[in-house]
A = this chain, B = another copy of it.
Amino acid sequence: MIKNDLFLRALKGETVERPPVWMMRQAGRYLPDFMKLKEKYDFFTRCRTPELAAEITTMPIEQVGTDAAILFSDILVVPQAMNVEIEMKPGVGPFLPNPVRSPLDVNDIIVPDVYEELGYVYDAIKLTKERLNDEVPLIGFAGSPWTILCYLVQGQGSKNFDKAKEFCFKRPDAAQVLLQKITDTTIAYLKGKVKAGVDAIQIFDSWGGLLSPTDYQTYSWKYIQQIIDALKDEIPVIAYGKGCWFALKEMSQSGAAALGVDWTCSAINARYLSGGQITLQGNFDPSRLYSTPQEIKKMTTQMIDEFGKDRYIANLGHGILPDIPVRNAQAFVDAVKEYKPR
């Protein structure tokens, strides 16, 4: 039994005293203790060393007091396991020396034995669960197949992932083969996470909002739905799609336990578009954490007023930015914890 089960109760749609709160990328660079480990170990070493991953994962629980932990890892460990070389370049982000650019490249992508290739993730989950000692739930995650494809084809981060979209529109058949390989791997990977002990799963579709509603169905949602179908009877799944306001209705009927929304979709729009019943998660603009702690508290309270305290998980609308002062993140978390319904 998890002692602080606010997050899990919100996922079930139960009435709660106040909304639970966590922050995307909460185990990240805004924490001084994270920066100390960052200086000593490179990115993928931190991901691959269960002791480090567990230590980083629990930092925000101990230091800012969020109501859920999310495993320190990266969406790109999945394509790494699929035979793709991926580096994390300081100041640049993900970089692929050999991006996928042709149907032949797609042939080289394998669907791996996840227990063999990603065992370190499962070890990290088990160790983290021990360290958390049932205080708060642990979230596991994966990128959406479309978002993974974006990196595989583009070869690095991008404003519009034009090369990824070019590949899909020029080579739709190869794109579908690639997306299915990623989907199959992701399902196996996440089933392993469930076995290892996570309490919920979040799927990050960070780049779904680059697609038109029609193309979103074809290149992104179809595959996310497969993942949800494969997991929903075992564990609550949160589907987060940045910029995917246009798909909220379909997403709400998918079997997902909750939907993540970004700050461009107001609470009233999100409730309306998702049909009003499903639990929503979001949507504080991460840049808004540059405001004063006092302003942050005021805006956070207003956000909860707008979403309502039930069927709601307070979060940012995307990952926390690296140079946010800890006291500002703390103001956000505290405002949720101090929330009194009007």
Contacts and interface: CB of A to CB of B under 8 A. Distances in A.
Contact of A243 (B166, B243, B269): B243
A96 B7 CA distance: 45
A188 interface: no
Interface string A146-187: 000000000001111010011001100000000000000000
Nearest to A295: B169
A166 B212 contact: no
Given A212-B285, A264-B211, A269-B246, A290 B166 contact: yes
* Copy total for this chain: 2
A4 to B, nearest CB: 29
A255 interface: no
A287 B243 contact: no
A169 B288 contact: yes
A120 interface: no
A212 B263 contact: yes
Contacts of A265: 246
Given A170-B290, A287-B169, A266 B159 contact: no
A213 interface: yes
Interface residues of A, number: 29
26 contacts: A157-B159, A158-B159, A159-B159, A160-B287, A162-B287, A162-B321, A165-B285, A165-B290, A166-B287, A166-B290, A169-B287, A169-B290, A170-B290, A170-B291, A209-B264, A211-B285, A212-B264, A213-B264, A215-B285, A215-B288, A243-B264, A245-B246, A246-B264, A246-B265, A246-B266, A246-B269
Given A158-B159, A166-B290, A245-B246, 18 more contacts: A157-B159, A159-B159, A160-B287, A162-B321, A165-B285, A165-B287, A165-B290, A169-B287, A169-B290, A169-B291, A209-B264, A211-B264, A212-B285, A212-B288, A213-B264, A214-B266, A246-B266, A246-B269
Interface of A: 157-160, 162, 165-166, 169-170, 209, 211-215, 243, 245-246, 263-266, 269, 285, 287-288, 290-291, 321
